[in-house]
Structure 1
Amino acid sequence: MFRKCKQIVRLIKNRLKYGNYAYHYCFLPIEKKKIVVTAHEGRGYSDSPKYIVDELLHQGFDIVWLIQDGKKDSLPVGVRPVKYGTKQALKELATAKIWLDNCRKKYSPPKRKGQIYIQTWHSPLRLKKIEKDAEKQLPVAYLDRAKRDAKKCDYMLAGSTFSRAIYENAFWFQGEVWMTGTPRCDLFWQDVEVTKKRVADFFQVDMATKFVLYAPTFRKDASVAVYLQEFADLKEALQTRFGSDWKVLVRLHPNIANLAKDLAYDADVLPATDYPDMQELIAATDLLITDYSSCMFDTAIAGKKTILYTPDLEKYLQKERALYFEIAELPFPIAKTPKDLVNQVQTFDELAYGQGIQRFQEQLGFAENGTAAATTAKKIKALCQ
């Protein structure tokens, strides 16, 4: 109860802090060629909004990206940075024709007639239940924000019929779902070698190196105790089963990115939490190891190998959040101990795995074909006429 009261007080303070300015800016004219973009609450140029903006650059739009301090260098030429969560950010939103975001908005002015809000969401598919489907597990302040945000939203993007149903039924959403596919996943249809070189150069390794990406999700207690932290046996198994030299990339969820510094790294285990684009890591990687993160579905779209490492499965199901799928019904091999993980690598059946991924895509009605960003950009241009 005390925690809920603190959340409500914080919410009221934010409204008082920005409310008067937000309403004041609503008397300014709407600029029909202005697009205001945010991703992950200003953490950088990333996710589906990045790929949509890439399609809109240098076409006469005033593209404003709301961004946190220290992240401005991630923006390309042609995108105007404005500090996230400021009065200036509210002014930009109040006068923009298009709002584009991948998360629920923390700070936004009243939406005006003629303005259009497009929500890409931050995963093409997800394992953990979200929004109304997880209403009892979510904080009061977040639920308030989500419901207010949903009333402003006009369009959402979906990459499968399964996701479209979730948006229509669990997002307090009355707008239209565009079955465009997922813009951030378009990268998987592009030249993989170009992306692989960019990643290899960043980590200063040879292009012939193979990557295993370890990307677990966060826990409520913000602990890394259950994470895999010894990789020598895994590396040996990978090299024996698939050949080549392997490096391990370790990437923590943005919610606990500050804990990445506490993990151990060496010449074979490299820190990847600060790499600017998760999609590039997925495109460049040869095997993903995760637990309950939605990145498993990105690799399913990309046709990449994935193994789930879930040492705390029973505890997670009890204390965290209910799931949309039974873990055992997913098309990914599962390991509960480091020894199991090594065994899954040694016995990995690529043919059976590929068939399982194909069935999964068909069952969920995947609609990904590498054109989502271009299709969405075309729709935005039409809305701005």
Structure 2
Amino acid sequence: PSLIDRPIVEVVDEAGRVRGHGEVDRCEAPRADLEAGDPWRSYLSSGIVVRLQLEPGRSVWFRVVTRVAGRRVWAWMPQPAGSSRWRPAPPEPGMRLAVRSQRGLLQAAPVESGGPGSALLPSSPIGVVLLAARLDIDATLMLSGTVTGAPARLNIVLGDSAGNSGPMTVSADLASDGGWSASIDLVDPDVELGTHPMSWSAASQDEPDRCTEGACLAGEEIDGPAIEVPVAPAPTGSAVAPDGTSFPAGSGRPARLARIITRRNGSVAVAVIPPLTPQERSRRGHRLLIEREPKALRAGVFLESFGGRSGGDNPAAICEDLAAHGITATLWWSVVDGTVPVPSGARPVVVGSQEWVEALRTSRVIVTNDHLPSWFSKREGQHLLQTWHGTPIKKLLHDAPRTVTLRYRRLMARQVPQWDLLLAQTPQAGRRLQRALGYHGQVRVGEYPRNVRLLGGSEVRRRVRHELGIGQEQPVILYAPTWRESLRPDKRAVDCGTAGGPGPAGALDGEHLADRLGVVVLMRSHHMNRAGRVPGAIDVSGYPSVEELMVAADILVSDYSSIFFDFALTGKPAVAYVPDLTFYRDVERGLYGCWPLESGLPVAVDHDGLTSHLHRVLGGIDAAGGRCAPPEVDPAPILDNLAWIRGWVTRFLS
């Protein structure tokens, strides 16, 4: 913007003649940096406003003209990122503003000319238009609009374009004047981060038992570029604020934010995003944050679990232990958004925010179970504890060159030398981690801190079963498969059935097991494969603590997951179910040793074998009365290691 003269906008007819022009006024465009994706320049001052008088009865297009270094340059004004429908322009009742033409340009045309967009108006007798959106500080999305056809009832539906979960349906309130309103809780577990197409289902007055469906269309205030939904209190008299650069004073950050996206066919989608300002989300704003001169180190601990997507695992146990023992230093807990549970005693910071960057760069101690951002470099005086997240069964990093990307290998080559301490459950696990990760520093061998949650015993067992609606005497199987490369959201699906065996999404028949064995099956999918679902099973993938699920269960069924080593502390039986063993071992990932044959566990390669093993194990539990009095976990190895880690952390906080 600083290199060009003030632009003018020309009105051009079908013959290419200029029928009028207007000089623009400058204005700020707060979202321009976000849309530009430029890490080096700011486009805040690139906004323009122009007012043009149009001739009735003539179709015209618009071009923007300016001078750069004394040279005249111009560009046609393109179709906005909005609908293809036609709608009247308020100052000119005899004209319609078309946001689509054969050339994909913005066009003004006479009312009587019709247009290509008219065919896209809803053919159903019921039509739903979104006019306004507002977000409460508790992350409740308030939507309102108009509906034609006077339906008997109306539902608003948020789908999932990635297919990771089913649609979310909420009932809309209908007004006598043809309006509707609906509220959507964005922290509901069914609403994931991402873009969700917005549609509707309705029943007419004439046929109340027959539902029709359609896409929600954008109203005049919504149509156009993506809109940041304002956080309450909304500006008086304004349906949608043009900018979401700040949050209400004193309110803090909401759990999540939302954007309204209008597609070219006029339909609407809701993008659920982390609670970051547009500046923090823009590449330029992010670059300025990480290149800013850091403040002095402070007596704080920065903790993160799986990139801020989890509120558990080893870092959470360490965090709660530090808080319970009166550590006065600030405990910063990294979260991708406000839906991630925060350990007691910790202060949440949103990944990518200014507070998050400062906490990461100024805390004397950093605790993580995964890699940190690619731009991060440890400062002198900082100490990094890498807890890792399990005893390796699957081959890692340098031991699995076929399945690990070059980008990840380069990232770990930079970060592993910055670790000051690595945790391992056993000496063998420590050796494998050192070799696979290329780590040559100190290793602390001891029971993982996260297993402190296994010490709850019968009280936790009763509480978890009550929360899940399971009887205290019912036999419970916890099915917790590891992730599959072919089921990752960013990977193209692979037909594992023809490549060596089924993936976890369809490998276990929960209904069959429930009928044959009289059990309740809990399905705990891996955080990298949230799409995996098992018919007939209770989905506990979002349950805060997998350790508490282990306490509540009687038997574990898994495949190549390190959960076997944690569950072994309970003394309860487990079964290795590996229908894709050949494919996983020889093609997809590779395994250490002769897993699972050397594990000492019952091994099943098909569903009949699994059923047989479970039947035998359940009989043994019943004979021993194990479900009534499950064995207690020995606390000493866990608490001793937590105390040692606490001493290591506090040594660097003064």
| TM-score, length basis structure 2 | 0.49
Once residues 196 and 43 of structure 1 are traced to their aligned partners in structure 2, the CA distance between those partners, rounded to angstroms, is 26
Superposition pairs for residues 1-385 of structure 1, below 5 Å?
18=286, 21-26=289-294, 28-31=295-298, 33-57=299-323, 58-72=326-340, 74-107=341-374, 109-123=376-390, 125-188=391-454, 190-222=455-487, 225-227=502-504, 228-235=507-514, 238-239=517-518, 246-257=519-530, 259-260=531-532, 263-265=534-536, 269-326=537-594, 327-348=596-617, 368-385=637-654
Aligned equivalents of 2:475, 2:386: Cα separation in 1:
35
Per-residue Cα deviation, 1:33-53 (whole angstroms, up to 9, x for no partner): 200110011112100111111
The answer as to whether partners of 2:511 and 2:535 remain within 8 angstroms in 1 is: no
Identity %, equivalent residues? 25
Q: Deviations over 1:132-162 (max 9, x none)?
A: 2223320111111111110211111122101
Evaluate the alpha carbon distance shift between residue 318 and residue 101 of structure 1 in structure 2; reply closer, same or farther with a 3 A threshold. Answer: same
* CA deviation after TM superposition for structure 1 residue 368, in Å: 4.3
The structure-2 alpha-carbon separation of the partners of 1:15 and 1:100, relative to structure 1 and needing over 3 Å to count, comes to farther
Q: Quick one: structure 1 residues 302 and 17, their matched pair in 2 at CA, closer, same or farther if it must change by over 3 Å? A: farther
Query: CA, structure 1 residues 302+322, in 2 after alignment: closer, same or farther (shift >3 Å)?
Result: same
Which secondary structure state, in structure 2, belongs to the residue aligned with residue 329 of structure 1? coil
In 1, Cα distance between equivalents of 2:309 and 2:322: 21
Deviation per CA, 1:263-310: give whole Å up to 9, x if none.
434xxx211111111121122211111111221222223322111111
Counterpart secondary structure, 1:186 = helix
Q: Secondary structure at the match of 1:328?
A: coil
Amino acid in structure 2 at the alignment position of 1:275:
Y
Distance in 2 separating the partners of 1:53 and 1:171: 25
Distance 1:29 1:120 in 2: 26
The structure that is helix-richer by fraction is: 1
Does the aligned pair in 2 maintain the 1:237–1:345 contact within 8 Å? no
Shift of 1:17: 7.3
- Rounded Cα–Cα distance in structure 1 between residues aligned with 2:293 and 2:468: 45
* Higher RCO, Cα 8 Å, sep 6+: 1
Alpha-carbon distance, 1:103 to partner: 0.6
Give the counterpart letter for 2:305 in structure 1.
A
Kindly tell me: are residues 339 and 263 of structure 1, through their superposed partners in 2, closer, same or farther at Cα, counting changes over 3 Å? closer
How big is the shift at 1:341? 0.8
Query: Does the 8 Å contact 2:322/2:646 carry over to 1?
Result: yes
> Deviation at 1:168?
2.7
Instruction: Note the C-alpha offset of 1:108.
Output: 5.2
Deviation of the 1:25 alpha carbon: 3.8
**Contact 2:316–2:343, Cα closer than 8 Å, also in 1:** no
Equivalent pair of 1:183/1:372 in contact (CA under 8 Å): yes
Cα distance in 1, alignment partners of residues 283 and 412 from structure 2:
15
The worse-fitting range, judged by mean Cα deviation, of 17-26 and 96-105 is 17-26
Deviation at 1:325, TM superposition (A): 2.2
Change (3 A) 1:102 1:144: same
- Measured in 1, the distance between the counterparts of 2:452 and 2:583 equals 35
Distance 1:167 1:317, change over 3 A: closer
C-alpha spacing 1:311/1:230, structure 2 compared with 1 (3 Å): same
Note the residue ranges of structure 2 that are not aligned, 5 or more in a row: 1-281, 488-492, 497-501, 622-635
> 1:185/1:77 Cα in 2 relative to 1: closer, same or farther (>3 Å)?
closer
Q: Alpha-carbon deviation of 1:110?
A: 2.2
SS at match of 2:365: strand
Conserved? CA contact 2:286–2:352, under 8 Å: no
Q: Rg larger in 1 or in 2?
A: 2
What SS does the corresponding residue of 2:560 show, helix, strand or coil? coil
Q: Which amino acid aligns with 1:253?
A: H
Distance 1:311 1:114, change over 3 A: same
Q: Deviations over 1:234-272 (max 9, x none)?
A: 335545xxxxxx311011110011x14x5434xxx2111
> Does the CA contact (< 8 Å) of 1:19 and 1:109 recur in 2?
no
Q: Could you tell me how far apart the structure 1 residues matched to 2:469 and 2:293 are?
A: 48
Compute the RMSD of aligned alpha carbons: 2.5
Cα distance in 2 between the residues matched to 1:298 and 1:148: 30
Give the letter aligned to residue 461 of structure 2.
K
**Structure 1 residues 39 and 108, CA, compared in 2 at 3 Å: closer, same or farther?**
farther
Q: How far apart in 1 are the matches of 2:463 and 2:647?
A: 28
Q: Distance in 1 between matches of 2:602 and 2:637?
A: 23
Q: How many equivalent pairs are there? A: 341
DSSP 3-state at the match of 1:78: coil
For residue 539 of structure 2, what is the amino acid of its counterpart? P
Between 1:158-167 and 1:82-91, the stretch displaced more is: 82-91
Q: Give how far 1:65 is off.
A: 0.7
> Structure 1 residues 109, 25: closer, same or farther in 2, change over 3 A?
farther
Q: In 2, are the aligned partners of 1:90 and 1:109 still within 8 Å (CA)?
A: no
TM-score, structure 1 length as denominator? 0.81
